[in-house]
Structure 1
Amino acid sequence: MKKTLYLMRHGQTLFNARRKIQGASDSPLTEKGKQQAITAGTYFKDNQIKLTHAYSSTQERASDTLELMTQLPYTRLKGLKEWDFGTFEGESEDLNPPLTPEEETYGDFFVRFNGESDKDVQNRMNTTLLELMEQENHENVLAVSHGGACFMFLKKWEDLSKREAIRFDNGCILKFEYENQKFTFIEAINHNF
């Protein structure tokens, strides 16, 4: 039986607006971020999508986003948290290493700075979401996470080199179908902000 996963990036935060690296660190939602969350909630209502279960990262920006979207009870999971960027946390995004056109991620760059590798993040997200979707009665699941973590999960299941770039705006919802322990990417739902 096919199930649906809606994997969402949290709304804009103060660090996003100020172009600060925030992985394991946290900052509050901006007014724009709050509106992005409310708009995402409206998307589910307008499309008559009845969510059966909801989950968020343990980071406040994700749980705040979820609470603005729905009144559905939810569980916070460490497996959905953002990539840990080590000592780069809270610094300017200008300090991120440049990527060449053939590179899609930072690889293991942040490991030497007490952070995580891209594969660590990908494995953590994949394990967590597989476990969620294998649970009984999990037909339409919402999981609120983060840009880097969502990207690494998408990269696990979709060959990004064979398609146009996918926007990962704050508030973006990535829709996947799930069946036989496999995820199929359907679409990225971005609201124009």
Structure 2
Amino acid sequence: MAKTNLYVIRHGKTMFNTMGRAQGWSDTPLTPEGERGIQALGIGLRESGLDFNHAYSSDSGRAIQTMGIILDELGLKDQIPHQFEKRIREWCFGSFDGAYGSELFHGVIPRLYHITNYKDLSLEDLVNGIYQVDTAGWAETWEAVSHRILEGFTAIAKAVEVQGGGNALVVSHSWTIQTLICLLQAKANLNLPLPNGSVSLLEYEDGQFTVRSIGDASYRQIGEAIQKD
């Protein structure tokens, strides 16, 4: 049986990313720049010679759109099924979903914890802070969000493994990917480099994940160089 590798991709740049709005369970499409960046990623993955036999994304529109572009560039859109997994959605920001990120991260959260920089918090404290200030009752606790994310990615890895392993494309979201990696590495930091269209490689074997790379932008850069030619 081949090893199971998850190529976990952050979706392309969206309208809300560009506007600086908190984009959790709310959704906006990729911008033309975002589409071009993901096309470059698809080209880079194609040029790498990697074979992919599985495709998963969250059920958010921006993740679905991203996967569609990648599969098109790889020539796999009609070759492998694209499956949706809602457990790998982004964090829900509750009543702050769609609000300006600066209001939440540089205003409300620092005031709640009496700090200057929200990045001084652990992921757990940040999630629980969002839960506290959410007036809509939609945001999740750390226990809930960490459980669903780990459960979702584990379910994907097991499904790929059962089908013989190999390489799977998985499109998810910045905070979700950061949460997963921090859980796997028993770290709490808020500073993982995860640009749009970056790839984090996770290996799954004997029921355990191993993080092989984080936020790798090289595939996209290869594609961008080809786009310029």
What TM-score results when the alignment is normalised by the length of structure 2? Answer: 0.77
- Give the unaligned 5+ runs of structure 1: none
Q: Does 1:152 align with 2:160?
A: no
Q: Does 1:128 align with 2:136?
A: no
In 1, the alpha carbon distance for the partners of 2:19 and 2:120 equals: 28
- Give the unaligned 5+ runs of structure 2: 72-76, 111-116, 225-229
Alpha-carbon shift at residue 151 of structure 1 (Å)? 0.7
In 1, the alpha carbon distance for the partners of 2:122 and 2:171 equals: 22
> Does structure 2 conserve the Cα–Cα contact (< 8 Å) formed by 1:107 and 1:119?
no
| Larger helix share, 1 or 2 | 2
RMSD across aligned C-alpha pairs, in angstroms?
Answer: 2.0
1:19 maps to 20
2:99 maps to 91
2:131 maps to 111
Alpha-carbon shift at residue 77 of structure 1 (Å)? 1.4
- Out of 181, 184, 192, the position equivalent to 1:166 is 192
Alpha-carbon shift at residue 121 of structure 1 (Å)? 2.2
Choose 1 or 2 for highest CA Rg.
2
Give me the identity figure in percent: 26
2:70 maps to 69
1:60 maps to 61
Change (3 A) 1:101 1:79: closer
In 2, the alpha carbon distance for the partners of 1:150 and 1:133 equals: 15
Alpha-carbon shift at residue 104 of structure 1 (Å)? 3.3
1:107 is paired with a residue of what secondary structure?
helix
Runs of 4+, deviation exceeding 4 Å: 99-102, 159-162
In 2, the alpha carbon distance for the partners of 1:109 and 1:101 equals: 13
Alpha-carbon shift at residue 159 of structure 1 (Å)? 4.4
